[in-house]
Amino acid sequence: MSTVQKVRRSKVRLEEREAVETLVRDAVADQSVWDLHTHLYPPAFGSPLGGAKHSADPRGLLLWGIDELLTYHYLVAEVFRVATPSELPYADFWRMTKSEQADHIWRHLFLERSPISESCRGVLTTLQAFGLDPADRDLKGYRKWFAQQPLDEHIDRVMELAGVNRITMTNAVFDDNERQRWLEDEKVGADPRFAGVLRFDPLVRDWPAAAAKLSEWGYPAGERLDQSGVDSAKRFLGDWIDRVDALYGAVSLPPGFRYEGADDGRDGSRVLSEVVLPVLAERGLPFAMMIGSELRVNPELRDAGDMVGQSDVSSVVRLARDFPGNRFLCTMLARENQHALAVAARKFGNLMVFGCWWFLNNPSLVDEITRMRVELLGLSFVPQHSDARVLEQLVYKWRHSRELIADVLVDKYADLAATGWRTTEGEVRRDVGLLLEKNFTNFLSRRES
């Protein structure tokens, strides 16, 4: 090829890329998201910050406002690195009011050094999206602004800014505070913006503890898993799936989680094969496994004290193979597990890989993981969930993720254009719709034979 031809060809490539870039960025910005895993709740679950029209409930479950954003457990972990426990003992931090904790974090992570970590940056993206100027550095002013918001309308605004059309809750049935709220008011979950998910970690992780609770709640079960315990646990799950109107059942599992067959001698394996999977299959609901978090390696940090560990992808493979009548949603916390998990998903249509979870939700890793997943799985995965614990985090988590997902897609469609393949705007929008919404909703409604 002559030099002139080469120059012309690279100019054409550049023009093609620019055209694709506009299509993709617009499609990703316009596509609304069904966020499949958060820790957010409707106002009926109470909220520690009241706002303009809502009274405060100190034990409420819906967290929102600047003080909650600043005291997110990701930031608690970061502040103890710079204001160490010898300067401020853990117990003293936990004794502070929420606003005092927020002041402490603001001072150390935003004023005394630049807020360049992903979790710090997220607070600023969020403020900016609401039209509050991060350059003001006016924590008192931000606080006042949030306190003046009417909660219900504020939720609508957050969803609009984040481009989220449905928020999936995590309804932890073994959490007394949450459980009580469901029992006291059967309509507590009836807000169409939110969808329920039944979360039951103790059932799979610690049968004796779960059995003691079940018995207390009128579902007799012994420390040793026997048929009557299995029957009680099935009845319990069924009742709570109905109460919560759950989209799927979910657990978080430690790195050491293993499934080597229903008869591998582990209580967890029996609970899965005799209780959880049969009940979910009967209801036509998927089972979500979030694997790889080792709880409380530093208990003093509370929610911020969990660690990542490498998990066993073959256990997921066995489950997907041995239970073809079930559908599995799966995310893993260790970067090292991502490739094998994506390969596992190539083998089993009933396994849906989702999200860049927790310590993976950082730009460099989201970029790497999303690229790798597209290359192995095409458009057949769910690239992200927010895991928001504070309402307004939906805004930054989705803005940041959308940008990264778009970066990857621009490269991939430009690669296609280089082969001579032409993708229409409608096709780009269809594909983005699959990634951000339909892969999840289709997976929910699909029944395995």
Binding residues for ligand RAT (CB under 6 A): 39, 170, 252, 290, 303, 358, 387, 389
Indicate the burial class of 10 (C-beta count within 10 angstroms; 0-12, 13-18, 19 or more).
exposed
355: phi > 0 → left, psi -120 to 50 → alpha, else beta; which?
left
C-beta of 250: minimal distance to Zn ion in Å? 9
Which residues within the stretch 213-252 sit at the binding site for Zn ion (CB under 5 A)?
none
d(CA 120, CA 107): 12
Which partner in ligand RAT, Zn ion, none is near 389 (CB below 5 to 8 A by kind)?
Answer: ligand RAT
C-beta of 449: minimal distance to ligand RAT in Å? 31
d(CA 131, CA 122): 15
C-beta of 85: minimal distance to ligand RAT in Å? 21
Which partner in Zn ion, ligand RAT, none is near 358 (CB below 5 to 8 A by kind)?
Answer: ligand RAT
**CB-wise, 42 or 305, nearer to ligand RAT?**
305
**CB atoms closer than 10 angstroms to residue 372:** 14
**CB-wise, 33 or 40, nearer to ligand RAT?**
40
- Run of H or E including 127: helix 118-129
**CB-wise, 301 or 406, nearer to ligand RAT?**
301
**CB-wise, 387 or 392, nearer to Zn ion?**
387
C-beta of 429: minimal distance to ligand RAT in Å? 30
**CB-wise, 40 or 272, nearer to ligand RAT?**
40
d(CA 352, CA 252): 16
Rounded to an integer, what is the distance from CA 59 to the centroid of its chain? 22
**CB-wise, 132 or 307, nearer to ligand RAT?**
307
Considering the rule CB under 5 A, would residue 35 count as an interface residue with Zn ion?
Answer: no
**CB atoms closer than 10 angstroms to residue 399:** 18
C-beta of 90: minimal distance to ligand RAT in Å? 18
**CB-wise, 272 or 434, nearer to ligand RAT?**
272
C-beta of 444: minimal distance to ligand RAT in Å? 19
* Max CA distance (Å), the chain: 82
Rounded to the nearest 5 degrees, what angle is found at the Cα of 179, between the Cα atoms of 232 and 290?
A: 80
Please give the single-letter amino acid code of residue 348.
F
x/- mask, Zn ion, residues 386-415, rule CB under 5 A, reads: -x----------------------------
Q: Are 257 and 290 in contact (CB under 8 A)?
A: no
Q: Are 53 and 98 in contact (CB under 8 A)?
A: no
Which residues within the stretch 337-396 sit at the binding site for Zn ion (CB under 5 A)?
387
Distances (CA, A) of 124 to 66, 72, 213, 279, 400: 10, 14, 42, 44, 12
C-beta of 102: minimal distance to ligand RAT in Å? 18
Positions that interact with Zn ion (CB under 5 A): 387
